[in-house]
Structure 1
């Protein structure tokens, strides 16, 4: 698996830089977001995108995945959400719809560094191109698109992927098992040191542990 991911990285590099091109989607840009369960802090080192025209968008997303940290251990990180969250992220401006998304992240409660390649099949891209009438919570009726990809990262290196859009019910499209990056955090450039865990999350983990079984 680690070799397959390395091969994917080489393909990214050989594909070259982004350039202007016609897009196959009916909107200007799609969004990429990440989330994590309560207290299960994640730092995304990089999320690189290759679109269906083989253009590469390095670091399309990096930084903190969205997560809640209620005080006094009142949050519950167990299990997958009934409604997939798109999470925090940004628009992948200039890109066509995705072919693959390469992600390397730190799971701070373990701590561990993971990497994976999320392959986006044509069936998912069709969902992203399809317009759909829906009703927002305000009562407004709109015609929209599922123009966002949300990835939820949990300890143990498991990820679930949804596509969603404004006022639309997210649709789960994939579950991916990552591999441990043997180089460690920051590709081995930090002396094995991960980013620090917050005191709120540390207190939860020290009392309750990490609920690995809830994400199987």
Structure 2
């Protein structure tokens, strides 16, 4: 972990993981999800959250991100989606709205290990608090909807885009973050530099077509 990130998060770790009882949001929990382009597999080692009460929620999310692996190299990982999904993740139960999200992940298609801090500004939290009347086509009803989910899309090269969205709501892009290379490598240096392997389907695509870095600039 870089010195900046280490110092930032040690301060919050010292405050413990106390659950706040005075949440500032109009719902019980918010959702943190991750997605990646076709075949560009990642392994999220940890996604730690600090909320606006300065409470730390370690490993709020870890593991695989949402991904498609169409057979016969028929998928297309290039570029950013026109309408982003929130991805695979978890509800951050007990937390208030986020202040910072620290993510360390293995980009297995390269391979490389990245880390970043996503800073959530007041303007984004206001979007998450604001209710809107929206029509849900699935059940034909008007509801008061909230953008109570944060979706992070991770791409090779250590770039991430961040959206907020919710059921029946149009996602809003709120940030683009450039990560740094984690100097200790995968698993904080405990694996001897060994990465998790790509699936056979993803490896076949990367071996034939490579990683389309330029499509995410």
Q: Place the TM-score, normalised by the shorter chain, in its bin.
A: over 0.9
Within 5 Å, give how 1:24-39 maps onto structure 2: 24-39=24-39
TM-score (norm 1): 0.97
How many equivalent pairs are there? 216
**1:198 equivalent in structure 2:** 199
**1:101 equivalent in structure 2:** 101
Deviation at 1:9, TM superposition (A): 1.9
**1:82 equivalent in structure 2:** 82
Aligned with 1:194: secondary structure? Answer: coil
1:19-69: per-residue Cα shift (whole Å, max 9, x none)?
Answer: 342100000000000000000001000000000000000000000000000
Deviation at 1:187, TM superposition (A): 0.3
Aligned with 1:13: secondary structure? Answer: helix
**2:122 equivalent in structure 1:** 122
Deviation at 1:143, TM superposition (A): 1.0
Separation in 1, partners of 2:164, 2:20? 25
Deviation at 1:125, TM superposition (A): 0.2
**2:14 equivalent in structure 1:** 14
Aligned with 2:57: secondary structure? Answer: strand
Aligned with 1:124: secondary structure? Answer: helix
Deviation at 1:84, TM superposition (A): 1.5
Separation in 2, partners of 1:44, 1:70? 22
Deviation at 1:18, TM superposition (A): 1.9
**Structure 1: any 5+ residue segments left out of the alignment?**
none
**1:58 equivalent in structure 2:** 58
1:43 aligned onto 2:17 = no
Separation in 1, partners of 2:91, 2:121? 20
Aligned with 2:48: secondary structure? Answer: strand
1:142 aligned onto 2:137 = no
C-alpha RMSD of matched pairs (Å)? 1.1
**Structure 2: any 5+ residue segments left out of the alignment?**
none
Deviation >4 Å, runs of 4+: none
TM-score (norm 2): 0.97
